[in-house]
A and B are shown apart, each in its own frame.
Chain A
Amino acid sequence: MTNAAMAMTQEALAEPLLKVKNLRKLYAPGKGVDGVDFELWPGEVLGIVGESGSGKTTLLQCLSGMLTPDSGQIEYTGKQGDKLDIYKITESQRRLLLRTDWGIVHQHPRDGLRMGVSAGANIGERLMAIGERHYGNLRSTGEAWLREMEIDTARIDDLPRTFSGGMQQRLQIARNLVTQPRLVFMDEPTGGLDVSVQARLLDMLRNLVVDLGLSVVLVTHDLAVARLLSHRLMVMRGGKVVEQGLTDQILDDPQHPYSQLLVSSVLTP
């Protein structure tokens, strides 16, 4: 329970982790991100929903330092309370941030994993990048994370390509969480998985977020996933945020015509 208590202290910190101001990255009018503002607080999961082409993924790429925006500002509060302007810091500072304090979970595990090296090496890579060299430590950390992700530790020397889709996705998550990041970006983390595999992953993500007090920006088109995992929702359309607020309020009492359309279009099995 120390974890939940920790999460609560974190929450009490009166400062957002991420402050996004007037972010813009347009490929064409209405294509991309067209002036987005929001704040993300420690321990908070923010879901971004909207149809394909609404700018969700572009926004995620801009936020996570992968795509330079045309204009706007992203301010991140570092571990020491230092304010970092993501596109003003040096390339090496940004890389360090991406390798330690941040995590990125891609929709397709092969975009986030090194397919040519073993599962253990995938998990160990971020640790080695920040200076861990002891083989025994790397190996035991790798095993611990495999167990945490419900992957048989006997598979530690196997290549990820021999894993099922669900296992690859769990391995990708382990690879990110090994450095205890504070902020994780997820792009459709359950997309393309069978529902049974999806349920297992969702349950795992849900627990990790609570236990580690993670802040997450979650892009998804699945409203059930958004309801389960996120505290807050932003509904995007044509690069703009048309509505944002408490997740269950937006799903149960959407105000904007587009949010209403989105919610009423879902089939319930």
Chain B
Amino acid sequence: MTVMIQVTDLNKRFTLHNQGGVSYPVLTKVSFNVNAGECVVLDGRSGSGKSTLLRSLYANYKPQSGQLHVRHQGELTDLVTATPRQILTIRRQTLGYVSQFLRVIPRVSTLEVVMEPLRALGVDRETCREKASGLLRQLNIPKTLWHLAPSTFSGGEQQRVNIARGFVVDYPILLLDEPTASLDADNCAVVVSLIQQARERGAAIVGIFHDAGLRDQLADRRIPLTSPAKEDAA
């Protein structure tokens, strides 16, 4: 078994300097591993730090201490101490992150939005287009929309475009933050099969799923999270 993610004693606290310097811990001494071909689900109430942990795994949030190793090009690299340049390379080649929100860029077509991560790896346009089209078709985005910028799409359509973008590269590690939230049953099933295919090809997956049925269906293992601050308050 290959360890793909190794989290050791991770601490993350938020300090709001402009709101009276309020400071509260969200993650305290979190440790776990995720292996290749494994889907791990983060469990916990709203506010327990699931998204914070996932964002930290993408180096979008900056933990105060601890280590956060991901296997990149065969080597375990600590994201807490990596340089921005290293992180960008790791994201491009190793880390996929899918949330339910698409960041729309004016004037960029849906097809281009989906192709972009693959293009950034130097893959030729034709191959990128084929793979992107396949995903858009699977996710039931009508072909008439492919050449439009997704800014005017419905929430569900934007979400599916974002999922296509997240799955266009076969990332060794996938981080999923409620990718199926507010999708209808058919589209939800498509996303589940994409996740299962990724697991079968050996991706290590960390996910947050609101739906209990989905959690049962996908989780090889669960990691319970309790935010110390919220516990104290309760």
Contacts and interface: CB of A to CB of B under 8 A. Distances in A.
Contact of A260 (B17, B61, B105): B17
Nearest to A251: B60
Interface string A246-260: 101100110111001
4 closest A-B pairs by CB:
A257-B17, A199-B106, A246-B84, A253-B61
The interface centre, meaning the residue of A11, A228, A231, A248 with most chain B CB atoms within 10 A of its CB, is A248
Contacts, number: 59
B106 A203 contact: yes
Contacts of B87: 246
Contacts of B120: 4, 210
A1 B84 contact: no
A37 to B, nearest CB: 14
Given A1-B122, A1-B124, A252-B61, A245 B84 contact: yes
Interface string A181-216: 000000000000000000110110010001000000
Interface of B: 15-18, 55, 59-62, 84-85, 87-89, 105-108, 119-120, 122-125
A261 B105 contact: no
Interface residues on A, range: 20 to 34
B62 A4 contact: no
A200 B88 CA distance: 26
A260 B17 CA distance: 7
A126 interface: no
Contacts of A245: 62, 84
A252 B106 contact: no
A240 interface: no
A203 B107 contact: yes
Contacts of B18: 257, 260-261, 264
The interface centre, meaning the residue of A4, A252, A256 with most chain B CB atoms within 10 A of its CB, is A4
B106 A44 contact: no
